[in-house]
Each structure stands twice: as structure tokens, then as C-alpha cells.
Structure 1
């Protein structure tokens, strides 16, 4: 019994000395519950919208004030014509446009009924449907408040139009998201074990005595997996177009180049994980547990980022998957080009450079 107690005591000391195990044991559950608690929500908050107010009268201004005063919507832009609606959507920031016709107040006075149009970006059908319902509810409440102030009964009717996805097909949301998740996790996992495998097999000494620089080692580890991941991406795109009937409104070549850029970014992140991990098991654990939840929850794949708490919105900016999902939806569903997606592209390039730079630094530290 004394030996058994000593053995248990030794195991406790061993666990407490291993900081990585302690983080996985205690840190990961805390991170997961916080992410699930704050990121998973069916509600919307601070959704960016634009206003096309062709009436520009007291009634329309009161309606706009009612909508902007809510916590659900943030009026970011006032547009002057219908052609500007498409431009606002293609930039990717605006999720809905409220279109008030030119005779809004006159129709309320003469016919007691006026209509407004709610146009939503339905590349994310769940969010689009929720936005339309929330805005419709505010418009209905506006009518009730207006009727309480005057003796006649006036009704404001909202008509909804779903841009880019009029049938609200969920596949339009899931294909770009699943494509991103698969490329991110598979690419990162493939390279995350590359350097740790060298350490475990004892072949790291060969790299130590070779004239190959750390940069060459990093690029050499990444390069073969680029081709394998490109095959993955090609299969996913072909399946999405020919099996799931996803439209491809934009340039196929631009989609291919952006996919390669994202793949390289994911592979570079995997190399970074490999340089800071002592074993293949640790690297795999970090790749799966450390990347899967942020990629799914904080990329905007399923849940709108604008509805999350502000700290999580800032954290989402360092998730490469967020930018790639914007790129894929922009090219495939909206048909936009690099002139619109340059910011996301530059962000992915910068992340790739940072990942490779940190990997080189960590690699040098471990070799010294």
C-alpha cells in the first residue's frame, strides 16, 4: 500500500510538472465553455445595415430613428439609389438594406398603408432570415406607436427580398464553411507533426549538421503538402459546383489562387504548432482542440460575428478562416474580384508571413 501511495504521489508530481497537460486538463474546458457560451447564439446584435430613404420625410426619418435606436441594428451607410445597394452588399460589411419608397408618408395618409422593402444578404441564410424578422418586428412596433398617437389606423407593410440566395438554400452557407474547416484542419494537422516527427525519430540531428537554413527547412516541410491540399481543395470545389449546385459567379482562377494562399497559411500555422510541440501527440492535440473550435465558432461560419461580445470579435480577426470564408462567399456567390477582396487577401498574406517568421524563430531557439 505504501508503494502504491508513493506511485500515485509520483504521478501527481509528474502531471503538475507538465504544463501542457495541465492546460489541456483545466484550460481547454474553460476555453470551450466560454466560447460556446458567448459565440453560440441565435440572436443578432449590432448588425450593420444601410438605408435607402427616397421619401426623406418626417415619417421615414421616425422609422429610421426607431431602427437605429435598437441594439439589433447599426446604421452604417445612407445610400441614394438602388444601384448602390449591390455595391454595398459586395463590400461585405452591410448585411441588410431598408428601402423606403418616395411616397411613404403620402401613402400612409391617403391609403392608410405604406410598404417598405427589406433586402438582406442571404449568403448566410440563417442570419438573413433572422435580420428580416427582427426588422419586420421593429417596423410593426413603429406602426403601433404611430397609431397610438393618431385616431386613424395606418399600417406599414414590410416586404423582404433575399439577395444572392432567394431560396434560402443552407448549402450556400455550409459549403464555404465546410471547405474552410476541412482545408484549415487537414492542412494544419499534416504539417503540425512534421518537425515533431523528426524529433521523435531522432533524425533532427541530420538537420542540425546539414547546411540547410531554418527558412529552407520550414519551406521544405510546407512545399509537398501544398500539392496534396490543392487536390483536396479542387475536389471540394468540384463537389460543391456539380453535386450541391453552388453557383460560381466570380473568377475560378481567383478562387484557385485564394485557396492556395489559404492553404499555405494553414500549413504555415501547422509548422508553427510543430515547432512549439515536443511530441506528435501534443501537436495533434493542439491542432484538433486548439483550431477546431475557433475555426467553427469564430470564423462566421455558423454564427454571426457581429452578435458576439467585442473581445471575441477582436479575436476573430486573427482566425485565418474568417477571412477565407469572406473570400469564398464573395467570389462564388457575389461575383466580386480582388478590387473588393484585397483587404482579406493582404490579411492572409500577412498572417502567413507572421506564422513562418515565428516558426523560424522558434526553430532556431530549439536548435541552439
Structure 2
């Protein structure tokens, strides 16, 4: 009897030990999967892993949610009914390119297509699928298609001010081949795209090594190590293994924005997507224009050059892009917020500046500092061909902060 009891006790001890072992192993395994096994969505040629920005939601839910609404994040997206702004409804889904060719914009089960048709013909000359949307739609959008691994820009675009399909800027007013999209074109619209050939003049890309839009990692650097650390150390509230914008010098902060907002630039030997937050932009490219000439600083794309030429900038030791812009939020149209940014500086000066403009004009503008001192200006480089004989310039808000003639704006 004693032997039997001893045997049963031994079996129970072994079973409890086994269950405990497997429970602990499972828990450890789960922790490892949860905290360490983070699958990247793309990998930079320098070895940096990109993770899905949705991973940041757990700790930064509001910031991520706000950022998803910004033009930066939506600067490059996959094409679908929610991202394409142009209409596919009857009577709104055509573009008369010239007297011979009309583009039809067709929705099919397999996606959305551009189909040019010659007069008196029913069969389209080609049917090109719109795979990628370039632009959030604030000013307009262009569309890209994949041809195997080749990335090409389609001829028709969308123009927001007229809510209509248009011939893409720079395209001829006749049917033309789709234009190759190079890595330098993508650099300002997406966080990362890997060129297959290694030739900067090639338009072949790895479809699965793409990070769409401008996401967290473009401005904060690699975040995988940051994520793993804080998953394993949830009580540590001090951010580790991530680049803080506040830790950068003024010029480093400016360079991060100037990469895409300083106009046409001539590249050095460095490849697109080589520049990283904290780098010195002059090592990668230099202005393809006279920085000291205001006439060479167009409002489209050269916000950096115009800001640097402003007295607000030259009289300050700290003013940079983020003084007025919160890159995490969609701020377009928030007049009161931008007005307050102006007042924060101009009321804190040793000699506060009072507006000396015409009171009637000021009242008419609703005390809008931006409309008066940073008016919309017609771009000399971004022009839209509305018809064969009609071309219009896109209005862009200037970043040359100054005193303008109110009655002429």
C-alpha cells in the first residue's frame, strides 16, 4: 500500500513539474513572440528594418491616428476607391486630350483604369491600371502603374481646384508613352522604395520592399529597437533608441525638411533614400539654382529657400519648420492655429509688433496673419494645361514671410 501511495505521489509530482515546465515555456515563447519577433515590412539596403507604423499605435495611438490624416502620410498610396479623387461616374469620367483622343476612366472588378480611345473607335488603344496614387489630393494627384517590376507614370492626372481629370503636368497634348518613375521621384513621396538594379536611372523596384507615404521612420529613424526595448521595459517612460527631433541642431531639423522642400537639386554620388534624419544635406545634393536670388525660389517645392530669405528667419536663432508646423497633424485650413503661432513670437519680443495694415482690409481678412503675410502665389514651375490654348499656374502659399500689398492679394 505504501509503495502504491509513493508511486502515485511520484507520478503527481512529475505531472505537476511537466505542466509547470510547459506553462513556463509557453509563456516565455509568447513573450518572445510578442516582444521580439517583429516582422519588418521592408529592409533598407543599409540593413535598417522598416516596421509598419500601425505597430506604434499601442503607445502613440493619438499621434498615429492624427498622422494618418496628413498630406505627408498620404503622399503615396495604393490605388482604390478611397484614395483616387477623380470621378468614375458617367459624364465625369472623361478627358478630351485633343480632337482625336479621349481618355475614359473605368472602374472594373480588377481595379481602376485609364483607357484612351481614338475618335470613331470603340476599342481603347490601351487599358492601363492605376496601381499607385501620388499626392494626397490637396492640389491634385498623379497615378502610377506596374508593368512587371517597372514603375511608370500614366498620362492623365486629377486636378483638385477644378475637380476634373487633366493631362499630367509636363505631358504633351497628344497620346504619349507612360513615363518611367525614377527613385529620385519617389524619394519625396514615400519613406522607402528599393531599386532592383542599383542604377539610379532605372525604374525597376521591389514591389514588396516599399514603405508607402512619409511615416514615423522618415523623421525618427529606425524604430524597431525602440519598440522592442519598450515592450520589454514597459515601466521605462523615457524614450530610448529613437531620434528625438528636439535633440537635433537647427540645421539638422531644417535639412530633414529641405530634402524635399528646397526645390530642384543636383545630386552628388549618393543615391536616393541615402539621406537619413540627422545627416547633412549638402553631402548628398546641392541647389540647382541661385539661393540668393528670390526670382529663382519658386513657391512650389522651395519653401525652405523662401523661409530662409524671410526676416522672421534671419532675425531668429531657433525658428525652423516645426515652429509653425506640427508634422503629426493635419493643420491645413486651421487659421486660428497658425495665427497663434505668429502671435506667440511677436508678442514675446522685447518690442512687440503691432499690425499696421489697413484696418478695413485686416477686418475683411478676418485677422488672418497668414493670408496677409504669406499669401497664395502663382507657381512658375507647376502649371496645368486645361486646354490646348489655356494654361494655369497652381496657387501655392509662399513661405517668404513679409509685408505684401493687401489690396493686390
Q: TM-score, normalised by structure 2?
A: 0.27
- Largest Rg, 1 or 2: 2
Q: Which has the higher contact order (CA 8 A, sep 6+)?
A: 1
More helix by percentage: 1
**Structure number with higher strand proportion:** 2
TM-score (norm 1): 0.29
